A and B are shown apart, each in its own frame.
Chain A
Amino acid sequence: MTAVSDPQSVSALAAEATDNRVNLDFETEGMTLNMGPQHPATHGTLRIIAKLDGEQVISAEPVCGYMHRGYEKLTEVRTYPQINALINRIDWLGSFANEVPFILAAEKLMGVEAPPRAQWIRTILFEMSRIANISLFLGDFGLQLGGMTAGFYAFRDREWVLNQIESATGGRFHPNFDRIGGLKDDLPKGWIESSHLAMARLLAFCDEMEDLLIGNEIFQARTRGIGVIPAEVGLSYGLSGANLRASGVDWDLRRDSCPPGLVYDKADWKVWTHPDGDCFARTWVRLQETREAAKIVTQLLDTIPSGPVMAKVPRIIKVPEGEAYVATENPLGEMGYYVVSKGDLVPFRVKIRSASFNNISIVPWVARGAYVPDLISILGSLYFILGDIDR
């Protein structure tokens, strides 16, 4: 896909070297480092068992399951509105974005389409939850690399977006606002103006982050050339979202495979890619995506059509028999729900395809030959949410 750049070849050589080392009896040398389920550098309860040789990682095996709550079993005993209230806790930062693919799958099976105003507001809230999610990533990544200032700014400026989501939906996160056929409520008065203000602040925040992080030479030394993922490897692991775009693959579900129900084609925006595939590329792509999301929201806010926000659906929802898979470009990557329905109040089986599960499955491959501080960079830049991995 892209020409192999120098950082890519260097990191590939390091990985091969460690592979060869593994073929000797490495059990007698090196130590096992357990980055336990509770660690400041893991976004939650992820455990990494790293076998080290000096400072270099020979193998890094993530152990998941410390936040496994059994979502797929729980969806088999809950009605569709009840599931909607539960699934926005999967990716707990990109709150509204979790509900949308599930609702779209149910709407596809029912043959219901949300009215245009609802579609507009859905897309706006989707992009706002993307901003809420990735702004925390930018701050948190700086925090993990040692720059605490970025974390404080992120929490402060994120409040703007959370206030907007809260005034529209009632919840800072876990909004439970999407309904099959539309939305729960219409927007409050004055929301559009205050959202414009919030987006202006967010763009200023992005500029601040660019100053603090991207231009910082320590940040660049710690992220350039680290954790290079070639595009083919990324595709075969199912890496998605900004991780894949940072490896040069020009693919975005919002533009290429947008499910009916979201109106990304009504705004003028672009997809950002980066050829390098290292930690810096992933951070850079996410920063640009946040800017782009703010621009999408500003454009859509100006063109919201008037009308109802809810289509005519029966009060007790029974989804007709069938199967549907809908995936959307969530802040973390591609999140999809494979809904199997037998015509009941509850779905028969819901398979949740979460982005972080695939994103983290690449860690054993990418961490070979990295140094321990680089492992932190790699984990941080791949950006996962534990609820998304463990469901």
Chain B
Amino acid sequence: MGLVEKGKLPKPLAKLLNVSRKYSIWAYQWGLACCAIEMGAAFASPRYDVMRLGVIPFPASPRQADLVVIAGTVTDKLAPAVVRLYEQMPDPKYVISMGSCANCGGPYWDSYSVTKGVDQLIPVDVYVPGCPPRPEALLEGIILLQERIAHEDMSQRWKGEASVVG
């Protein structure tokens, strides 16, 4: 219908679309290091179940994913693969950077082979601090992301404008 491109999305429709999007996130797990285990505990363990939030963690490829959780240390050798993964995801896409290695380099801040934070490569929506963050912390990060999606303006995102979260 072209409503989103023309920026004429009526508010109730936008709200409905946002709510349905935020409760049906397909999360691609880019589990690299120790945080991947906590992410696995959050996603696959019956105790910290993430599916109750509507997040299904089993997309078969990044081309079917909405959200990528970068969990673990990003090294300079791996950096091109991260960028390629991000570019393969279709819009609208979100990135959660999990753990201090992905946030800022973490305990390896002075290493010669570690990228100091994944936000040097791709734009990040939510940072989850911790080393490793508890599974509940990752779930809180996902809830924050859901709140952000709920207040999002889809036409703004379509036009590529920076989104301000109120």
Contact = CB atoms under 8 A, between A and B. Distances in A.
Q: Do chains A and B touch in the complex (CB under 8 A)?
A: yes
Contact of A70 (B36, B40, B108): B108
Contact of A173 (B73, B75, B110, B132): B132
Interface string B70-111: 001101011001000100000000000000000000011011
A38 B112 CA distance: 22
A73 interface: yes
A136 B41 CA distance: 11
A69 B76 CA distance: 10
A86 B77 contact: no
Contact of A74 (B34, B45, B111, B131): B111
Nearest to A166: B134
Contact of B45 (A37, A44, A156): A156
Contact of B111 (A37, A69, A387): A69
B107 A156 contact: no
A107 B81 CA distance: 42
Interface in A57-75: 65-70, 73-74
Contacts of A68: 75, 77, 113
Nearest to B43: A155
A159 B49 CA distance: 13
Contact of A44 (B32, B46, B107, B132): B32
A380 B131 CA distance: 26
A386 B33 contact: yes
Nearest to B134: A172
A152 B36 CA distance: 15
A69 B115 CA distance: 10
A86 B107 contact: yes
Contacts of B124: none
B47 A85 contact: no
Contacts of B85: 38
Contacts of A65: 75, 77, 113
B4 interface: no
B138 interface: no
B30 A89 contact: no
B37 interface: yes
A183 B40 CA distance: 30
A177 to B, nearest CB: 15
A89 B131 CA distance: 10
B75 A69 contact: yes
Contacts of A73: 111-112
B120 to A, nearest CB: 16
A89 B73 CA distance: 11
A151 interface: yes
B137 to A, nearest CB: 12
A36 interface: yes
Given A38-B30, A92-B37, A45 B78 contact: yes
Contacts of A52: none
A308 to B, nearest CB: 30
Given A66-B77, A69-B111, A73-B112, A92 B34 contact: yes
Contact of A66 (B41, B78, B112, B132): B78
Contact of A159 (B36, B47, B73): B47
Given A69-B73, A70-B112, 15 more contacts: A66-B75, A68-B77, A69-B113, A70-B108, A70-B114, A74-B108, A86-B107, A89-B33, A93-B37, A151-B44, A155-B45, A173-B34, A173-B37, A174-B132, A386-B32
6 contacts: A38-B85, A67-B72, A69-B73, A85-B107, A89-B34, A155-B41
Interface of A: 36-38, 44-45, 65-70, 73-74, 77, 85-86, 89, 92-93, 136, 151-152, 155-156, 159, 172-174, 386-387
